[in-house]
Chains A and B, each alone.
Chain A
C-alpha cells in the first residue's frame, strides 16, 4: 500500500462544485510519487479539475488534497506552483521573445539556465531571440515546457498537452517527457487518449462522473497508486 507520505498527491473525498455543477463528486485516490501518472476519462469527467487541484488553480468545495503528506490548503500557493509546474492544453506563449518568456518564469536565471531548460524540452539551437508568438504549435508547446522547467519544478502537470499538436510533434513530445522522467521529474498527464497514456504512463487513473473508477498499472513493477 502506498502510504500518504510516499504518495505524490492524495485526494480524499474531493468535491468541486462550480455554478451548481459538480466537476468532481467524491474523488478519492493516491498518485505515486514517481514516474508518469496518466489521468484518463471521457470529456467532462473531471480530469482537468483533478490536475488543477494539484497546483491550487482550483480548490475543493469539500474534501482534502495533499501533496507529499501536506494538505495543499496549508502550503504557500506560489511556492507550490513553482514546485508543481503546469503545461496547458493550448500553448500559451507570452508576447516577446523566447528569452522574455523564460525570464518571466525565472527572473533571476541566466543564459545558461535558459539554454539548459530549452535543451531539456528538446529545443536545440538558437531559440532564445525568436518571437515566441510566431512559433509553430509543437515548438510553442515545447517552449512552454522549457518555461516551466526553468523554475526547476519537482512535478510537471500536463493538461492534454499534445491535443493541439500534429502526430509527429505529439510523438516527439512524448519522447521528451519520458526523458525528463528518466532525469527524475514526476509527471501527471491528463489525456483523453488512452493509447497515448498506455505508451507514456506507468499508471493510469480512470476518472468517470467526477469519481475515481480505478487505477491501472501499465508497467508492472513500477510505482503504483491506488483508489482508497
Chain B
C-alpha cells in the first residue's frame, strides 16, 4: 500500500459509521442520528480544511499564509476556551496569550533549532498539534483554579488575613490546578507506544514512512505537546489568578456557574 486512500476506500470506511449506527439502534441508544451527523460534519470540515491547507502550504506559497493560519487557530482556540469555561473571567484573552506564548516557545525550539525545516507543510500541522492537544488542559486548569479558590474561600481569605499577597496566598491552589491539568498528559506520554499508537506515527506509517523515522517524529510531537501543555496551563493559571484578585489583594466574589445540562 502506498498510503493513498481512494474515494472508494473512503466510502468503504463509512460502513464503520454504519456499524456504530446499527449498535445504537440495536441497544436503543437514540444516538444514530448524532453518529451520522458527527461523521458527515467531520468529513465536510476535514475536506474544507484540506482544501484550505492545500492552498496555504503548497510549495512556493509565502510562509506568511501559514503564519496567518496559525494565528487564526490561536484566536479560534481562545473562543473555544471561552465557550467551554464561561465562568472564568477573561478566559478568551488569557487563553490567546497562553497559546501565543506556547507557540513562541515550542515552535521557536523546533524551528529555531532546525528540528524541522520551517515550511508551511511543517509549521501548520505542528502548530495544530500544539494548540489542539493543549486545549483540554487549558480549560481544565482555568476551571479547576476557579473551583479551588471559590470552594476554599475561607482558607484563601485566612491566608490573605495573615498579610500574604494574593500571589502567595493563591500559590497552593495554583499548584493543585496545574498538577491536575498536566498530570493526564504525563500519563499519556508514559503510555505512548505501550497502550496505544499515537496519531502522528500511525499516519506516517500508513503513508509509507519507515517506522523508525515515524517514531522519531512522534517523539518530537509528544515532547512538543508536553511542553505546550505545561506552558499554556502555567500562563492561564497566572492570568486567571490576576483576574480573580483585586489589586489590593482581595479575592473577588466567585458565583457558582449555572448547572450544565
Given contacts A57-B157, A88-B158, A92-B155, contact A79 B250 (CB under 8 A): no
Given contacts A90-B154, A92-B154, contact A59 B160 (CB under 8 A): no
Please report which residues of chain A, range 49-77, place their CB below 8 angstroms from some CB of chain B when the two chains form the complex: 55-59, 77
Q: Contact between B162 and A85 (Cβ–Cβ < 8 Å)?
A: yes
27 cross-chain CB contacts under 8 A: A18-B253, A19-B253, A55-B161, A56-B250, A59-B248, A59-B250, A77-B249, A77-B250, A78-B163, A78-B164, A78-B165, A78-B249, A79-B163, A81-B161, A81-B163, A82-B162, A85-B162, A86-B161, A88-B154, A88-B158, A90-B154, A92-B155, A94-B158, A95-B172, A104-B162, A104-B164, A151-B162
Chain A residue, CB-CB nearest to B249: A77
Chain A residue, CB-CB nearest to B163: A82
In the complex, what distance in Å separates the CA atom of A145 from the CA atom of B164? 16
A147 at the binding interface (Cβ < 8 Å): yes
In the complex, what distance in Å separates the CA atom of A90 from the CA atom of B152? 12
In the complex, what distance in Å separates the CA atom of A92 from the CA atom of B157? 9
Residues in A with CB closer than 8 Å to B159 are 94, 104
Contact residues of B with A, CB < 8 Å?
154-155, 157-165, 172, 248-250, 253, 255
Residues in A with CB closer than 8 Å to B160 are 57, 81
A-B contact count (CB 8 A): 55
Residues in A with CB closer than 8 Å to B172 are 94-95
In the complex, what distance in Å separates the CA atom of A94 from the CA atom of B161? 13
Q: Contact between B157 and A88 (Cβ–Cβ < 8 Å)?
A: yes
Residues in B with CB closer than 8 Å to A81 are 160-163
Contact residues of A with B, CB < 8 Å?
18-19, 55-59, 77-79, 81-82, 85-86, 88, 90, 92, 94-95, 104-105, 144, 147-148, 151
In the complex, what distance in Å separates the CA atom of A19 from the CA atom of B255? 10
The one of B154, B248, B255 in contact with A77, judged by C-beta atoms closer than 8 angstroms, is B248
Residues in A with CB closer than 8 Å to B164 are 78, 104
Residues in B with CB closer than 8 Å to A104 are 159, 162, 164
Q: Contact between A147 and B163 (Cβ–Cβ < 8 Å)?
A: no
Q: Contact between A58 and B250 (Cβ–Cβ < 8 Å)?
A: yes
In the complex, what distance in Å separates the CA atom of A113 from the CA atom of B164? 19
**Least Cβ distance of A108 to chain B in Å?**
12
In the complex, what distance in Å separates the CA atom of A82 from the CA atom of B160? 10
Chain A residue, CB-CB nearest to B161: A86
In the complex, what distance in Å separates the CA atom of A59 from the CA atom of B161? 14
**Least Cβ distance of A79 to chain B in Å?**
7
Residues in A with CB closer than 8 Å to B249 are 77-78
Residues in A with CB closer than 8 Å to B158 are 86, 88, 92, 94, 144
In the complex, what distance in Å separates the CA atom of A186 from the CA atom of B157? 21
**Least Cβ distance of A191 to chain B in Å?**
18
Residues in B with CB closer than 8 Å to A88 are 154, 157-158, 161
In the complex, what distance in Å separates the CA atom of A55 from the CA atom of B161? 7
**Least Cβ distance of A77 to chain B in Å?**
5
**Least Cβ distance of A203 to chain B in Å?**
24
In the complex, what distance in Å separates the CA atom of A59 from the CA atom of B253? 13
The one of B155, B161, B165, B255 in contact with A57, judged by C-beta atoms closer than 8 angstroms, is B161
Which of B163, B248, B249 is the most central at the interface, judged by chain A CB atoms within 10 Å of its CB?
B163
Which of B157, B161, B162, B250 is the most central at the interface, judged by chain A CB atoms within 10 Å of its CB?
B161
